Amino acid sequence: GQQVMQIPQYQHVQEGEDFTTYCNSSTTLSNIQWYKQRPGGHPVFLIQLVKSGEVKKQKRLTFQFGEAKKNSSLHITATQTTDVGTYFCAKRRDYGQNFVFGPGTRLSVLP
Amino acid sequence: SQTIHQWPATLVQPVGSPLSLECTVEGTSNPNLYWYRQAAGRGLQLLFYSVGIGQISSEVPQNLSASRPQDRQFILSSKKLLLSDSGFYLCAWSPAGATEAFFGQGTRLTVV
């Protein structure tokens, strides 16, 4: 119904390698947001995507919204140790004014 | 600019004791307010949300309750804590219309 799924659950990469996490929904999304939570910290809003096929970049981070607006991805180029954390996607619920968060992808970066 | 304050940062409470966590938002009016809980290494579970004073929607039936006595104040309470109430509690706000959510620093609750 209202859930969003994320894969992978965990990802361990060597510093300098690329990383991608995927977010999928069974229903069409009006928008998708991405958040980052550092270990021991709170989720921090990164970006929102609203248009079909939209691509946005923040330095080494590239966010993409699928053409059918049912999936999204976050790609990090040349990971650094500062990228460590859990990345969540979230969608606004089809009804009500709240958010449904994916289970997150926990990224570990080995120096 | 808008800021969100949540306290305390850490709390250790015995089983059966009451709980009151407070969250306030500054710099905005009529925000949507949320309480989430996060178990260790897990995702974010929405507990309550509010779109206005006195308006509380509960997502998960449980041992907790929420109140919004003022526009920018959101309180999470329990009369008697259970061991299973341990977790990381996060308050968040969003502009009316619920675009993005902004989280407080969180309260790490351990029930012993």
pLDDT attached to residue A96: 67
The pLDDT value given to residue B98: 67
Cβ atoms of residues A65 and A32 within 8 Å:
yes
Interface test with A, best of B1, B50, B74, B99 (most A CBs within 10 A): B99
| Rounded Cα gap, residues A27 and B55, in angstroms | 28
Per-residue model confidence (pLDDT) at position B61: 66
Q: CB count, 10 Å around CB of A10?
A: 11
The confidence band for B96, taking pLDDT boundaries of 50, 70 and 90, is confident
How many Å lie between the alpha carbon of B41 and the closest alpha carbon of chain A? 9
| Tokens linked to B46 | 């929405």
User: What are the pLDDT digits (tens) for B18-74?
Assistant: 999 999 999 999 999 999 999 887 889 999 999 999 999 988 867 899 999 999 999
CA dihedral A84, A110, A63, B5 (to 10 degrees): 0
- B68 or B99: which leads in pLDDT: B68
Per-position pLDDT tens, chain A of length 111: 568 999 999 999 999 999 999 999 988 998 999 999 999 999 999 999 999 999 999 999 999 999 999 999 999 999 999 999 999 999 987 666 788 899 999 999 998
CA distance to partner chain B, nearest, from residue A104 (Å): 6
Per-residue pLDDT, A1: 53
First to last CA, chain A: 40
User: Which residues in chain B have Cβ-Cβ distances shorter than 8 Å to A33?
Assistant: 99-101
Backbone dihedral angles phi then psi of residue B85, each to the nearest 5 degrees: -80, -5
pLDDT of residue A12: 97
